[in-house]
Amino acid sequence: MLGVSFFVGFTGLWALATLGGFVSKTFLADPITMVQSGWRLLTEMGFAKDIGITMWRVFGGFAIAAVLALPLGVLMGAYKPVEALFEPFVSFARYLPASAFIPLLILWAGIGEVQKLALIFIGSFFQLVLMIAVVVGNTRRDLVEAAYTLGCGDGGIVRRVLIPSAAPEIAEILRMVLGWAWTYVIVAELIGASSGIGHMITDSQALLATDQIIFGIVVIGVIGLVFDFAFKRMNQRLYPWAQLGK
């Protein structure tokens, strides 16, 4: 309830500043114009398609990153030699700003879908690997030992102790990094794209259409919020045991 009231208050302030004439319309559109032009964007200018394309890019790139990061992260967390081999490089790569790769990726892959997916991959893969490795590596030692005394071998420890034990936290990591992937896709679309939410925003900038820019930003926020909420719910459903005692 408190969270909702803040949203309302924020919108109220915005309406006051713009409709009250305190801020020029050229720089900041008012909420009503924003909703109207948003509706026009959706119904007449095919903005829904842009939204669909952007979402496809985010989930595509993120899915590739997650599918590859999961096994590597788990192996790094489980086996010291694997960690010793990859950890330094991954730590280094993690600090490379993904957006700085855009010029390079445009040279390599043009401004098509491959470039977008690659950027999201670079932005999320290394983060995922490191965080998953840490979570898996922090598995309670006594649980591992208990499993050994129950007859587990090394493979069984990974499958039946490390992974289930880390699963709720890994799901949280995925949720968080998916949020970051959203920012990368917009950056990629701002710089070089012929479709997508970010592309619409740059087009609107050329037309000084702040109402459309704001609508685009709001759409990104709303989609992010919806997915965050859905992800959270799914985690609670999948891992009821992790909710106990919280």
Could you say whether residue 68 binds other proteins (CB under 8 A)? no
Could you say whether residue 244 binds other proteins (CB under 8 A)? yes
Closest distance between other proteins and the C-beta of residue 161, in Å?
Answer: 7
Among the listed residues 82, 167, 187, 217, the single contact to other proteins using CB under 8 A: 167
Could you say whether residue 147 binds other proteins (CB under 8 A)? yes
Q: Residues 83, 84, 86, 89: is their CA dihedral positive or negative? A: positive
Q: Residues 120, 100, 191, 194: is their CA dihedral positive or negative? A: negative
Could you say whether residue 161 binds other proteins (CB under 8 A)? yes
Could you say whether residue 146 binds other proteins (CB under 8 A)? yes
Token representation of residue 210 = 């702040």
Closest distance between other proteins and the C-beta of residue 242, in Å?
Answer: 8
Q: What angle do CA 57, 59, 64 make, to 5 degrees?
A: 100
Among the listed residues 33, 54, 165, 212, the single contact to other proteins using CB under 8 A: 165
Helical residues (DSSP H) of the chain, grouped into ranges = 2-19, 31-44, 47-78, 80-94, 102-109, 113-137, 141-149, 154-157, 163-191, 197-206, 210-238, 240-243
Contact residues: other proteins, CB under 8 A: 142-143, 145-152, 156, 160-161, 164-165, 167, 239-242, 244-245
